[in-house]
Structure 1
C-alpha cells in the first residue's frame, strides 16, 4: 500500500481514539479482525446509474448489497471510529458512492490485510477495498480498478533522535505493516545493507499500521514506512511525537480488487468512479479527508 502527498487541512479526530490505538499497538495484542463485521460511516449519496447496475453480476445484486473486505487499521483510508465498530475513511466514503452508482449498498467487513485477496478468490468477499497498490503480482490473480494515486513515506520520532537516513537504515529497527508493498521495500533495502557488508535492517512486521506507528512512538522501532496519507495522518494524530522523514517516492495507483472472471463488472466499477469524478462527488469526498492530492482523472481496469 502506498500513496501520494496529501493536504494537511483534514479534520482531526479525538485524541482519545488515537491514544487507544497507540495503546493497543504498544501492548502488541488485540482481537483478530477476521470475520468481524462493522458499520460504515455515512457517506455522500450517489444516484444509481441503471446502465452500470445492469452490468453487476446476478450473484452480487441478488441481495442488493456488495460485501467489502477491508483492513480497518489504516487511517485515514479505512479505520474504526471512536465507537470501535464504525468503519470510516476516504476509501469507505468513496466506495460507498461507487456502490450506490451500481445500485448496491456497500457492506464493509473488517479483515486481515493479507487475507483479503485470497478472500476475493474464494468468494468470501465480493470486492477488496483497502488501499491496495496495483502491481503485476496482484494482477496475476485478481482484477484491479484504479481510483487513487499513491506513494511511500517514512516517519520517525520528532527530531529524528537516531539520525536515521532512509537510504542507509542498516542496523536499525524499522516497523511496517505485514502484507504491504513496504515489506518488499524494506526487505530490498536490508539486502543492500548486507551485500555491502553492513548490518541488516531489523524488520518488525505488525498486523496493523496503528501498531507499527505505536512502536515508533514508544521508541521500540526507529521509524515506519507506509502510504503517505497514512504517514502524514499518523504525524498529526500523535500530537507531534512523530515527524515525516525524507521525500515521497514510487508513486503507483490504488485499486479495487475483484475476481478475474468479472471483466464486465470491473469495467462497470471503473465507469462508476468516472461518473463520480464527472459529477464532483469524487473531489468532495477526497477533500473531506484531505487527500485530494492523490486524485486521478482516468480510472481503469488493470492499468
Structure 2
C-alpha cells in the first residue's frame, strides 16, 4: 500500500476558537451530508448493498480540529465531514453524521447504532472486533507549556511523568504498557490522566494537573499553528514521537458496506479530491496512497 508513517508537523490554518470551544460532544447531534434520497446515476450506486440504499449513518467526534469540529451553525466541519460528503456523491447515498464522543463512537458501533465510525487507528486488536479501512497516516507527540523543562527524547524519559490522554485511544494503551516497563526497571510509573476529549487534555496541562498531553500529530500541528497563546499559555512539543499509525474507518465485523466505501475513497484518491480536501486542512503529510481493508499496521515501536 506504500502508506507513509507520519511524524513531522504540518502547518494547519483554521479558527482558534474551534480548538477549544468547538468540542465536548458527549451527546449526539446529526446532519446529512447529501440531499435525501439516492442518486442512481452516481458512479458506485449499483455497488451499494440494498440495505444501505436509504442512507448510511456515520459517527464523528467533533473535538479534533482540523479533522472535525463543530461549526458555528452546529454542524460537523473539517476534513472528515468534507471527505464523507465527497464519498456520499460517489455512492449516490445520503450519509448522516452523528456527532459523538470517541468513547461513545466505539460503544455505538458495538451496538450497531452506526454503519461505520471515523478517526480510528488501525490496530491488530481492533481488527479482531471490527473491520477497518485505512485512508490516513498519523503519529503521536506530546505537548506541554513552553515554561516546562523538556522531557528528553526517549520513552524512558516519560517514566514518572503525569500525562493527559484520551480514554480508549491507542496512545493511552501504549503508554500503559510503557508504564509497566518503567516500574519493572525500578523507575516511577507513567501516571495517565484519562479524559474524554483532546481539548480537555490541553486544559488539564494548562491548569497544572498534568505535565503534558499526548495527541495525534495532525491535531497538535493545528493547535500549535494558531495564535501564540492558547488558554492564556504558550505551548511547545516535548518528549519522543511515538506510534506511527494508519487511521481511518471502523465497521462492524463482516460489514457488507466496507468494500464499496473502499472503492469510493480510492476513486476520490484517483481524481485527487481526497488530496485537495486534506491539503485544504493542512494535512498534506497525512495523505495515504490507497485505502485498504484490514491492512497490517505499522510496528508499535
Change (3 A) 1:153 1:261: same
Q: CA deviation at 1:269?
A: 0.9
1:5 aligns with 2:2: no
Cα deviation, 1:197-252, whole Å, max 9, x if unaligned, reads: 22212210011111011211222211111110112222234634211224533322
Q: Distance in 2 between matches of 1:48 and 1:280?
A: 23
Contact 1:144 1:255 in 2 (8 A): yes
Matching residue of 1:154: 142
Q: CA deviation at 1:189?
A: 2.1
Among 51, 60, 75, the residue aligned to 1:70? 60
Q: CA deviation at 1:49?
A: 6.7
1:269 aligns with 2:261: yes
Matching residue of 2:298: none
Contact 1:49 1:101 in 2 (8 A): no
Q: CA deviation at 1:81?
A: 2.3
Among 228, 232, 253, the residue aligned to 2:246? 253
Q: CA deviation at 1:70?
A: 1.6
Q: Distance in 1 between matches of 2:127 and 2:292?
A: 13
Contact 1:232 1:244 in 2 (8 A): no
Change (3 A) 1:40 1:189: farther
Matching residue of 1:137: 125
Q: CA deviation at 1:5?
A: 3.2
Contact 1:6 1:292 in 2 (8 A): no
Unpaired stretches in structure 1, ≥5 consecutive residues: 25-29
1:170 aligns with 2:165: no
Unpaired stretches in structure 2, ≥5 consecutive residues: 296-301
Matching residue of 2:21: 20
Task: Give the alignment's TM-score, normalised by structure 1.
Answer: 0.84
Q: CA deviation at 1:99?
A: 2.2
- Between structures 1 and 2, the one with greater helix share: 1
Change (3 A) 1:137 1:48: farther
Question: Secondary structure of the equivalent of 2:107?
Answer: helix
Among 182, 185, 191, the residue aligned to 1:196? 185
Q: Distance in 1 between matches of 2:244 and 2:207?
A: 29
Task: Give the alignment's TM-score, normalised by structure 2.
Answer: 0.84
Q: Distance in 1 between matches of 2:40 and 2:289?
A: 21
Q: Distance in 2 between matches of 1:19 and 1:256?
A: 25
Q: CA deviation at 1:281?
A: 0.5
C-alpha RMSD of the superposition: 2.5
Contact 1:155 1:245 in 2 (8 A): yes
Change (3 A) 1:262 1:163: closer
Q: Distance in 2 between matches of 1:174 and 1:7?
A: 23
Contact 2:40 2:46 in 1 (8 A): no
Q: Distance in 2 between matches of 1:245 and 1:189?
A: 17
Question: Secondary structure of the equivalent of 1:267?
Answer: helix
Contact 2:143 2:214 in 1 (8 A): yes
Paired residues, what number? Answer: 281
